[in-house]
Amino acid sequence: MNDGPLIVQSDRTLLLEIDHELAQEARRSIAPFAELERSPEHVHTYRITPLGLWNARAAGLDAESVVDTLLKYSRYAVPHSLLVDVAEQMDRYGRLKLEKDPVHGLTLHCADLPVLEEVLKSKRIQPLVGKRLDDETVVVHPSERGQLKQQLLKLGWPAEDFAGYVDGEAHEIELVQNGWELRNYQEMAAESFWHGGSGVVVLPCGAGKTIVGAAAMSLAKATTLILVTNTVSARQWKSELLKRTTLTEEEIGEYSGSKKEVRPVTIATYQVLTTKKQGNYAHLELFDAKDWGLIIYDEVHLLPAPVFRFTADIQARRRLGLTATLVREDGREDDVFSLIGPKRFDSPWKDMADQGWIAPADCVEVRVTLPEHERLIYATAEKEDKYRLAAATTTKNPVVERLVAKHSDDRVLVIGQYLDQLAELGQHLGAPVVDGSTPIKEREKLFERFRNGDLRVLVVSKVANFSLDLPEAGVAIQVSGSFGSRQEEAQRLGRVLRPKADKRTARFYAVVSRDTLDADFAANRQRFLAEQGYAYRIVDADDVLEGKDV
């Protein structure tokens, strides 16, 4: 028996004793292939999943490395059946290969005849393949490349795609490093993607995912379509590209609700691409508007279903997904893997903070108690109303005011889900509110005032979850969220993680109503950040209101 921090169980769960001296080292080692499921105070539960193992395999980790990690940190003997299972699952990735064929265009190849026979018997696969060339090879129509990869993954046999990519229309793009340098991890991320041809780069908010995109564009030197969450993000991308590359204003187009510019580099919003006209997605034709050499999906964890469907048809284009977390609340991580590509690069958040690339963060959950009359209303409310009642309680208002006052020398974002709650907080704090109805120009003015220090406090809805560049924000106060969304929690902490000139620690407060669904959902939201090594301190609202040091 070792004195390790990990207990490895035959049901693929890993129990990590977080107070153990090797806990952080073990957490970093298991993170590439295991997902955190529960994170109470002393023992965190991780699970090994096939998709996690395949992502690790695609990123260059082999079964021997995974097995060595489990053996190294496990306190007790690791079940032999689990070790065998890990090796066999990882061996499934790449047993089937998609390859370019000079005569037939595209083929599915497998040297393991029983595996090929198994998948070809599937009714899902049969419409996607053509004639059998020999015992190991079957023809695939190029248009079915994405669909086939999706279906093979669902059958448990993820194919490795060696069919290559079209170069697209050439367009010269170079990085211009005036007063800044490409960080080593950004260069590694771009190179890892480029050598793989398609896939996902996972980096924390504030670590420069846009710069990784620009570096990938400089490698592709081709026309590029960039898909982003909203118009503000589109304009931030344009600003960064003008600053970091040789691209000019005339070479970058915006394709949004207000503009329809198609240029060598075109930045489009997911919203406009998924807008229907007479029952059809009229703007999906943008994918065919140019001979794109590279397609970049920003915030790929938010990719809408229609864009997935079209992505299945453009597998010959190089595709780069950028995200802070591969967690999708709709469970479609497997579609990201099969259609955008596997994870090519990932860097743990705490490691990045330790190296000074993002700000260290102190996460605090402040628990308020509903007053008696609100507890009675909550107790008798319909289930669908309970979360809103608990999350939007006015009991949180004085706590938020006190926290804002406590950080009077910093710039503060107050973030929430419910517009009436945010409007009321805006009045209490004397701060402007930015929500979905705020015109783009007005948003940009407010964000700029916040950046230059004219505005110290900003109240924002979920429009601030994505790709919002406010590097000066040092404090975020979350008053309500999208139920138990782990991805949202990560995005919101990310608003304050950009490194500070004075190296100060970022503060992230979640104000939560105890003994309610608000607290239950908060616990689930925190899972992803716990996986990244962040621990929430829990304090009582009375201590905040009394001015105690929390």
Q: Is 179 contained in some domain?
A: no
Rounded alpha-carbon distances, angstroms, from residue 469 to 232, 264, 363: 9, 25, 20
424 and 479 housed in the same domain: yes
With a cut of 80, say whether residue 278 has pLDDT above it: no
Greater confidence (275 vs 152) lies with: 152
189 and 109 housed in the same domain: no
Mean pLDDT of 395-404: 96
Mean pLDDT of 115-123: 95
274 and 188 housed in the same domain: yes
Alpha-carbon distance of 292 to 253, in angstroms, equals: 14
Q: Is 235 contained in some domain?
A: yes
Strand-pair partners of 425: none
Mean pLDDT of 284-305: 88
Residue-level pLDDT at 483:
62
Residue-level pLDDT at 326:
77
Report yes or no: 146 and 190 within 8 Å, Cβ to Cβ: no
219 and 335 housed in the same domain: yes
Alpha-carbon distance of 538 to 40, in angstroms, equals: 12
Residue-level pLDDT at 484:
57
- The token pair that represents 60 in the structure block: 């260059």
Beta strands, E only, 442-548: 457-460, 473-478, 506-513, 536-540
260-294 burial, b for 16+ CB within 10 Å, e for fewer?
eeebbbbbbbbebbeeeeeeeeebbebbeebebbb
pLDDT in tens, 68-99: 999 999 999 999 999 999 999 999 998 999 99
Residue finishing a domain among 92, 108, 136 = 92
With a cut of 80, say whether residue 485 has pLDDT above it: no
Least confident among 102-116, 277-291, 510-524: 277-291
pLDDT in tens, 251-263: 999 998 888 999 9
Sign, Cα dihedral of 56, 60, 64, 66: negative
Q: Is 269 contained in some domain?
A: yes
Alpha-carbon distance of 2 to 489, in angstroms, equals: 36
Range of the domain at 237: 184-347
147 and 205 housed in the same domain: no
513 and 442 housed in the same domain: yes
Least confident among 175-179, 367-371, 399-403: 175-179
Greater confidence (16 vs 324) lies with: 16
> Considering the chain, what is the average pLDDT of its residues?
89
Q: Is 177 contained in some domain?
A: no
213 and 140 housed in the same domain: no
390 and 533 housed in the same domain: yes
With a cut of 70, say whether residue 466 has pLDDT above it: no
378 and 493 housed in the same domain: yes
pLDDT-based confidence at residue 353 (cuts at 50, 70, 90): confident
198 and 227 housed in the same domain: yes
Mean pLDDT of 525-546: 82
With a cut of 80, say whether residue 469 has pLDDT above it: no
Residue finishing a domain among 92, 119, 136 = 92
Q: Is 503 contained in some domain?
A: yes
188 and 305 housed in the same domain: yes
Alpha-carbon distance of 480 to 422, in angstroms, equals: 10
Tally Cβ neighbours within 10 Å of residue 355.
Answer: 12
Mean pLDDT of 415-430: 94
Greater confidence (279 vs 19) lies with: 19
With a cut of 60, say whether residue 467 has pLDDT above it: no
Residue finishing a domain among 65, 92, 119 = 92
Q: Is 539 contained in some domain?
A: yes
The total number of residues written for the chain in this structure: 550
DSSP string, 353-383: HHTTSS--EEEEEEEE---HHHHHHHHHS-H
Which class for 460: exposed (0-12), middle (13-18), buried (19 or more C-beta within 10 A)?
buried
Map residue 269 onto helix, strand or coil: strand
Q: Which of 154-163, 202-211, 529-538 has the highest mean pLDDT?
A: 154-163
Backbone angles phi, psi at 509, to 5 degrees: -110, 135
Q: Is 171 contained in some domain?
A: no
Site of tokens 């930015």: 434
Number of independent structural domains in the chain = 4
Residue-level pLDDT at 142:
87
Q: Is 506 contained in some domain?
A: yes
Report yes or no: 397 and 480 within 8 Å, Cβ to Cβ: no
Distance linking the first and last C-alpha atoms of the chain: 40
Map residue 468 onto helix, strand or coil: coil
Residue-level pLDDT at 224:
96
> At 364, which CATH number?
3.40.50.300
DSSP string, 167-210: --SB----B--SS----HHHHHHHHHHHHHSEEEEE--TTS-HH
Sign, Cα dihedral of 468, 473, 474, 475: negative
107 and 207 housed in the same domain: no
